[in-house]
Amino acid sequence: MNRIEKSEITYKKLFCDEIPAAYATDPDFQDILSRFIFGEVFYQGSLDDKMREMITLVVLAANQTLPQIKAHTHAALNVGLTPIEIKEAVYQCAPYLGFPKTLNAISELNEVFKERNIPMPLESQKHVDEDQRLNRGLTMQVEIFGDVIEKNRQNVPANQRHIQDYLSAFCFGDFYTRGGLDLKTRELLTLSIISALGGAENQVKAHVQGNLNVGNDKEIMIAVITHSLPYIGFPRSLNALSCINAIIPE
């Protein structure tokens, strides 16, 4: 198959028989978009369609391209992601994007769930009690990053330790301990989110190492950045690849 045929097959799988609105006003642009994303990028690397749609959703949340979040929530359901998997992927954005942007994305998900008669709220995926957040978060950090966590905490000035405690309890205690997604998936999504932000190269490098530590190899990380490329552009994609190569040289 050529990339035109591939794009038609992929687009139908994701969006059924819906015709892109841009064909009425910008058909050339829509052809470029569809053939690149759905005829080339979707066929690069070993990611399955479910992982691709989760990556797309979190990157769109990072970009705050909200109309596309709605379309890709439908696509995520169409390729077999559960509502819980979709929600957990977007919840994972909160420590990196902040609450307002994450809530904007959640609002788009909820509209689609209502359209498709999915009952809400979904079953809770919380597994941490209030008094466990910090300790469980620290445990998760050590599992992902190793002993460097304790060394880093010892070097933090006293007037900034609360930030490190927030990081452990909130980011890792409140989110990484939740059900719905496994640790390897959460780390790949985090890599996608922070790569989309720009200016977060130190954190990208840290999570490249974190991905390695939890069992995600270089090839799958390259596949994640490749899939993100149409949504975040070449500059941020190349920055992320540079971070991957810095931690895992060829």
pTM for the full predicted model: 0.96
Low-confidence stretches of the chain (pLDDT beneath 70): none
pLDDT (0 to 100) of residue 151: 83
pLDDT (0 to 100) of residue 183: 98
pLDDT (0 to 100) of residue 152: 84
Owning domain of residue 135: 131-177
Classify residue 48: in a domain, yes or no. Answer: no
pLDDT (0 to 100) of residue 150: 86
The 8 Å CB, 24+ separation contacts for 69-78 are 69/105, 69/108, 69/109, 70/108, 70/111, 70/112, 71/15, 72/14, 73/108, 73/109, 73/112, 73/113, 74/15, 74/112, 74/116, 75/14, 75/15, 76/50, 77/112, 77/116, 78/13, 78/14, 78/15, 78/16
* Total domains in the fold of the chain: 1
Classify residue 188: in a domain, yes or no. Answer: no
Classify residue 45: in a domain, yes or no. Answer: no
pLDDT (0 to 100) of residue 22: 85
Classify residue 157: in a domain, yes or no. Answer: yes
pLDDT (0 to 100) of residue 190: 98
Classify residue 124: in a domain, yes or no. Answer: no
Classify residue 167: in a domain, yes or no. Answer: yes
